[in-house]
Amino acid sequence: MTRPVESAPGLRLLRPVSPAQWVGLSIIAAWVLLAVLAPLVSADPLAQQTADRLQAPSFAHPFGTDQLGRDVLSRVLHGGRATLPIGVSIVLLATLVGVPLGALAGFVRGWLDEAVMRVADLLLALPALVLALAIAAALGPSVSSAVIAIAAVMWPRYARLARGQVLTLRQREFVLADRATGASPAQVLWQTVLPNAAPVVTLVAVLDLGTATLAGATLSFLGLGVQPPTPEWGAMVSTAVQTPEAWWASLFPGFALVSFVVAVNLYGQVFDRKGLGR
């Protein structure tokens, strides 16, 4: 993030360039596809078969069954329908709050900048997940409180990023040139400065999908996010902890989560190396 990335259509930045990135992107795409198609390709994730409780993986139940006799494979496939959108919502909410705040702070400076950045510093000075846990607990356990809680600890990251971008960009001559045309400060910020900060912010947001998904699943694991019986990877692991002998009930959803996060990080590795993003 030494300087805003040059070149016009900025999302070119997101194009995969290495084989590892393609692998990562394919896994992400596969999970998204499976989540979308889950109702078509898999059994009812809520159907309980008390006779079939805690069955080891078999032909009928490739991932086995859980303590209520539900098919773990169906639940893993359906779980993506909860886990993945939660991760995306977290990042969306965090950027929607953080980017305008940070951009405005960097653009107008003064007391607003001071105020926003001190709040951001405070939030960043606490272990993020712990604070998110407290906020989610205060809001009461539900999907939306998990999303809000994690976004509440993540937005400072985007505020800082956007502020840094704006601080650099506002020195650039084309921003001065835009002011010289007679554009109002608001027009300069939203129409000229922010579009130029967008590629880097988008890149960081995409790379954060892994972290956000993980955090969402962790809150669900802690019982503060998705509530049973809705299938969600973190929540599934949590329920299955009580039956450690049935390793399949916890490890398959766990591996699903890990594979998704690995995929996002695999895709993001190249940017890491270029010094972008993190």
Partner 1 sequence: MVTPAPADEAAVDTRRPLRRGRRGGRRRSIARRLVTLPFLLLGMTLLMFLISRFLPADPAVAFLGNNGADNQQAVDAFNARYGLDRPLWEQYWIYLDRLLHGDLGTSISTSRPVADELAAAFPATLELAVAALLISLVVGIPLGILAAARRSSLFDRLTGGATLLGVSMPPFVLALLALQVLYLQLGWVAGPGRLDPFLDPPPTVTGLMTIDALLAGRPAVALDVLHHLVLPAVVLGVIHGAFFARVVRSTMVDALRGDFVRTARGKGLSGRVIVGRHAFRFALIPTLSLVGLTFGELFAGAITVETITGWPGVGRYMYNAATKLDFPAVMAGTLLIGIAYVLVNLIVDLLYGVADPRVEAS
Partner 2 sequence: MTTEEPLLEVRGAAVSYRTRAGTVTAVDGVDLTVRRGEIVALVGESGCGKSSLGRAVLRLEPLAGGEVRFAGVDLGTLSGTPLRQARRRLQMVFQDPQSSLDPRRTVGQIVERPLKVHRAGTPAQRRAKVAETLDLVGLGSRFLDRYPAALSGGQRQRVGIARALVLDPELLVCDEPVSALDVSIQAQILQLLLDLRERLGLALLFVAHDLAVVRHLADRVAVMYLGRIVERGAVDEMFALPRHPYTQALLSAAPVPDVAVERARSVPLAAGDLPDPLAPPSGCAFRTRCPHARPVCAEVTPALVHDVACHRQDELPPFVSPIIHSGG
Q: Which residues bind partner 2 (CB under 8 A)?
A: 6-10, 172-174, 176-184, 187, 192, 195-196
Using the rule CB under 8 A, which residue among 29, 47, 60, 126 binds partner 1? 126
Taking CA 101 as the corner, what is the angle to CA 183 and CA 126, rounded to the nearest 5 degrees?
160
Q: How far is the CB of 165 from partner 1 (least distance, A)?
A: 7
CA distance 105 to 118: 11
From the list 95, 76, 65, 93, the residue with the least C-alpha distance to 35 is 76
161 scored as a contact of partner 1 (CB under 8 A): yes
* DSSP 8-state symbol, 228: T
- Find out whether 175 and 188 touch, Cβ atoms under 8 Å: yes
- By CB under 8 A, the residues from 228 to 247 that bind partner 1 are 234, 237, 241, 244-245, 247
- Of 44, 62, 258, 274, which one interacts with partner 1 (CB under 8 A)? 258
Calpha distance 158→124 (Å, rounded): 11
Question: Which one, 93 or 166, has the nearer CB to partner 2?
Answer: 166
Query: What 3-state class would DSSP assign to 47?
Result: coil
Q: How far is the CB of 175 from partner 2 (least distance, A)?
A: 8
Question: Amino acid identity, residue 17?
Answer: V
Write down the least CB distance from residue 193 to partner 2, Å: 10
Residue 138 partner contact from partner 1, partner 2, none using kind-dependent CB cut-offs of 5 to 8 Å: partner 1
Quickly count: other Cβ atoms within 10 Å of residue 50's Cβ. 7
The Cβ-side half-sphere exposure at 45, using a 13 Å CA radius, reads 25
> Binding marks (x or -) toward partner 1, 176..215, rule CB under 8 A?
----------------------------x---x-xx--xx
Tell whether residue 110 is a contact of partner 1 (CB under 8 A).
no
129 binds, among partner 1, partner 2, none (CB under 5 to 8 A by kind): partner 1
The residue (of 152 and 197) whose beta carbon lies closer to partner 2 is: 197
The reply on whether position 21 binds partner 1 by CB under 8 A is no
Find the part of the chain contacting partner 1 (CB under 8 A) among 67-75, 78-86, 156-164, 173-181.
156-164
DSSP per position, 155-213: HHHHHHHHHHHHHHHTTSHHHHHHHHTT--HHHIIIIIIHHHHHHHHHHHHHHHHHHHH
